[in-house]
């Protein structure tokens, strides 16, 4: 590892950036250096700007562009301590798209197609508790509190702990799984019993199960989390409670699900239906 990379990692660790953010930032700076085939501290601001313009020309995703920009701003402004004109390059606006949500019947269809006990327990936990993929692979046996019927999500996104409900159905499957696999460090492990299951493996398994289940929608692990929140909303759970269960910092993020729930939309009368029959031309001939 070069001294420059080591310094950048130390700077990010001092600011308590998550390991995933650290990996992404280092990868972005490495791509810049690879593009110009020189050490990144020898690349001037105009070259960095040209690199970002090239990313736009390649039509990379908005999130990748913004992440790369933030990584380079951090590297030049913090690690190298230079005045950073990149601050004046705005982040791209993210398109606001509604998340994909499965119906309860589709969730049942998905879970029925999981096959292996490990994946049935894992994906049931994601849906039953609204977990992120990073949170479910980090679950440990001691995080299951069967006395109080809660799961302890330890150091979720934003370095925050929270409690979520423990479904009795999920508890039964987790007990079957524990008896069969006897996990040690984390509940869901890969080939090495001492290491958590790789997130990429979980994503690939999710896609394969969705295909096997015959679901036409594009299903990701996060789709199960979106479905968890939407189904709670449809069951009458208030937004503040859903916000706490999801671990959202802002209620505005949780409020997105008020636009997703088809049940709520269908149950809301159109103002057209509130007009009198004469106004809508519904009188008899």
What positions carry a catalytic annotation?
132, 157, 222, 225, 248, 257
The residues with which 156 forms a beta bridge, in sequence order, are 160
Q: Is there a contact between 119 and 205 (Cβ–Cβ < 8 Å)? A: yes
Euclidean distance between CA atoms 213 and 229, whole angstroms: 22
Q: Is there a contact between 166 and 139 (Cβ–Cβ < 8 Å)? A: no
**Chain position carrying tokens 């950048």:** 8
Euclidean distance between CA atoms 220 and 89, whole angstroms: 32
Which H helix or E strand runs over 161?
A: strand 160-165
Compute CA 75 distance to the chain's CA centroid, rounded to the nearest angstrom: 25
Tokens of 110: 């998905």
**Chain position carrying tokens 């990748």:** 64
DSSP 8-state class, residue 165: E
Nearest to 143 by CA among 154, 156, 155: 154
Residue 234 burial by CB count (10 A; 0-12/13-18/19+): exposed, middle or buried? middle
**Chain position carrying tokens 């930032």:** 25
Q: Is there a contact between 115 and 168 (Cβ–Cβ < 8 Å)? A: no
């Amino acid at each position: 590892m070069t001294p420059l990379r080591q310094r950048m990692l130390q700077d990010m660790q001092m600011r308590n950036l998550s390991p995933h953010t650290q990996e992404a930032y280092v990868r972005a700076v490495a791509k810049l250096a690879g593009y110009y085939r020189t050490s990144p501290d020898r690349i001037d601001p105009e070259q960095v700007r040209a690199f970002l313009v090239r990313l736009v020309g390649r039509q990379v995703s908005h999130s990748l562009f913004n992440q790369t920009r933030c990584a380079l701003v951090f590297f030049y402004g913090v690690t190298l301590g230079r005045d950073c004109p990149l601050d004046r390059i705005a982040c791209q606006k993210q398109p606001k798209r509604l998340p994909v949500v499965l119906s309860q019947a589709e969730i049942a269809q998905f879970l029925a197609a999981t096959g292996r006990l490990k994946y049935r327990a894992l994906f049931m936990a994601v849906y039953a508790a609204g977990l992120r993929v990073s949170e479910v692979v980090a679950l440990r046996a001691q995080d299951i509190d069967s006395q109080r019927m809660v799961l302890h999500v330890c150091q979720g996104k934003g370095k925050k702990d929270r409690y979520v409900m423990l479904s009795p159905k999920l508890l039964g499957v987790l007990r079957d799984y524990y008896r069969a696999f006897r996990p040690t460090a984390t509940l869901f492990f890969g080939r090495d019993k001492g290491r958590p299951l790789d997130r990429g493996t979980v994503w690939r398994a999710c896609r394969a199960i969705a295909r096997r289940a015959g679901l036409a929608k594009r299903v990701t692990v996060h789709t199960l989390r979106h479905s968890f929140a939407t189904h709670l909303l449809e069951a009458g759970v208030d937004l503040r409670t859903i916000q706490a269960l999801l671990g959202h910092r802002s209620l505005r993020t949780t409020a997105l699900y008020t636009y997703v729930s088809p049940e709520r939309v269908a149950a809301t009368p159109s103002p057209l239906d509130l007009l009198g029959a004469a106004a809508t031309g519904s009188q008899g001939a």
